[in-house]
Chain A
Amino acid sequence: MIMEAVYELLKAVSKEHFMENMVSIPLIQPVIDNLLNIPLVGYVVALILWKPMFALLIFPGLLTLMTVLLFIIWFERKLTARIQWRRGPLEILRWAGGIIQALADGLRYFFQEVIVHRDAHKPYFIQLPILIFIPVLLPLLFIPAGSIVGIKTPYALPVVVAIVSLIPVFIVAIGWASNSRFAYVGTIREAFMYFAYEIPFILSVVAMILVYGTADMTAIVEKQTIPGIILNPVAALVFFISTIMATSRLPFEIPEADQEIAFGPFVEYSGIMFGLVMTIAYEKMYILALLMSVLFLGGGNGFPIPLLGDLAPVIWMFLKTMAVMVALAFLRSIYARFRLDQALRLSWTTMLKISAVAVLIGAALNIAQVA
C-alpha cells in the first residue's frame, strides 16, 4: 500500500511524466533533446518545459511578469514623455534609451531605509505588502496561453475574478495598518471605488460567460473564431473602464491622488516597501490585461507559427496583452483625475446601465447559440 503510494509519487515527479506534457518548440527541439539526455540538467529542463511549470515560471508566470513590469513602467514613462515633448528616462543605459530605468529605481528603493512609524500597526504594516502578492500572483495559474496552463479547471474564470476581487481588501488593510490621516482618506476612497467598479466588472464577465456558454478559459479561447470584442463590444467597453478603475489609473486615479492625499493608503511607506506597493497596481493591470485578451481578443489565437510550436500562442497572447497595457498607459497623459463622487456617479449610473445592456446582449447570443 505505502509502496504503491511512493511509487505513484515517484512516477509523478519523474522526468518521463514531465516529458509526456511538454512544451514543444520545433525550432530548438534538437538542443532540448540533447539537454534532456544530460542526467541532472535534463531533469531540470524537463521540469521547466512541463506545461504547468512553464505557465508558472515563464508565461504568463514570473519571468514574463518581471519583464512586463520592468518594460511597462519604462514604456509608460517614455510614451508619456513623448506626448509631453520631453525625452523621458534616458541616462541609464543610454544607447538603449534608458530601458533599465525601472531596475535602477528598484535597486535604489532596495537600499533605502524602510521607516516604520510609531503609530503604525507594525506586523500588518510590514506583512501586508508581501501578503498582497498572493491574490496578485495566484490568477496567473489559471490563465491559459494555448495549451499551456497552470491549473485547468472549468471554473477558471470565476476563480480569477474572485481572487482579483481580493486585492482591494488587502489595500484597505494596508491603509488601516498605516494609521495616518491621508491613508485613512485614501482607504475610504479605495473602498468606494471597489464597490463602484466591481459590479460592472463582474457583470461584463458574466456577459461573456453567457456569450461563450462556458467559464473554462481554454474553451473560451477555442470558441473565439470571432473575437469577443466584436461579439459584445459593450461588455468590452465596460471591462476596459472597470480595468482603469480597478488599477487606479488616470482618469480614475482617485485612491492614490498624490496631489490631494499624497498616495493615499501608501503614504507612510518608504524604501523597498514603497517599491512593492507601487508595483501592485501594475501587476493587477497585467492580470486584467491578460484576462481582457482572453475574454475579448481571442487569447492565444492567431496565425500558427510552425517553427515555434507551442510558443506561438504565447507570443500572440503576449502581444495582445501588451497592446491592452499600452492603451492603459496611454490614457495617463490624456486625462485629469475625476473626483470621487463623479467617478461613483459614472459607475453607479452609466456603467451599470451599459453593463446591463452587455448582459442582455450576452443572453441574446446565448439563446441564439442554443437555438
Chain B
Amino acid sequence: MFQSVEEVQERFREGRYIASRRVATVVFLAARMGRPVLIEGPAGVGKTELAKTLSEVSGRPLIRLQCYEGLDEGKALYEWKYAKQLLYTQLLRERIGELIADAPSLPDAVARIAGQEDAFFSFRFLSPRPLLQAILATEPVVLLVDEIDKAEPEFEAFLLEVLSDFQVSVPELGTVGARHIPFVVLTSNNARELSDGLKRRCLHLFIDFPAPADELAIIRLKVPEVPAELAKAVVNAVQKIRAMDLRKLPSVSESLDWARSLVILNARELDPAIVESTLSMLVKHEKDLERVKGALDKVLAD
C-alpha cells in the first residue's frame, strides 16, 4: 500500500490531511504488518478523518461501523431478512404444496421441505452489516469502527474474535473467511477502559491536539480563504484557550469552524467584538464561555 513513511505523509497531504510523522509511521506500520490501529485522543482531532482519508488515498472503499450503547452482533454482523423470507414462503405456498403433495407420510414431507432449506437460508435473504460486508468484500477495504468505547464490553470481546481471524460463522451457511484482510481503524474517546485483549491486538496511536505549526497548516489547508495573518491569530488564540481550565477544550474541528465563520463574517483581524460574537463556535459550554470572555484580552494578546 505504501512504500515508506514519507510516502504516507505525502499521500495524506494530497488527501488534504496533515499527518504528523508519528501518525504516518503508525499508518505505515499497520499497513505493513496487517494490524488494526486503535486511535485514541480527545474529540475532534481528526481520528475519524484519518480513516476516511486513508480510504481515499489508498482507493479502498470505507466501511463504517458506528458503535453505540446497545449495539449487538445482529446490527454489526448480519441479520436475516425475516420479512422477505416470510413473503417468499407466502408467495411460493403453492409450489411448496406441490412439493409435498405426494409425500406418503408426515416425516417424509418434513424431510422434503428440509431438503429445500438452502433456498431460504442463503445469501439472498441475508443482509450483511458492516463487519460481514468488510469480510465479504471482493476488494480490499478500510473498516472504520468508530467510538468503540461506546459499545459494551461484550461487543468488544466479539469484535476481538472477528478481528483476530477475520472469519465469521453463520450457522446456516457455514464459515465465511475474508478474501482480503481489511485495514481496520478503531477510534476511542476513552469513555471507558478498553479490554487488554483488544489493545494487544492493535497498534496504538494517541493523537493529541496538534502543535501550533501543524494546526496552522491544517487551517490553511482546510480553509484556504482565511488570510495568513488571521489564521495565525486564530491558532494563537486557540492555543491560549486550550491552556485554560475548561470543561471542554476546543479541538481542531472547532478551530476550523471558527476560522470558517470568521471568513464568512469578512473579518480581517481578531478584534474583541467579533471574537465575542463568534466565540460560541469554539467554546461550547456556558460556563466555559463566560470564563473565556472574562479573559479575552489575555487570549487575544500576542
Tell whether A pairs with B.
Answer: no
Binding site for B on A (CB under 8 A): none
Binding site for A on B (CB under 8 A): none
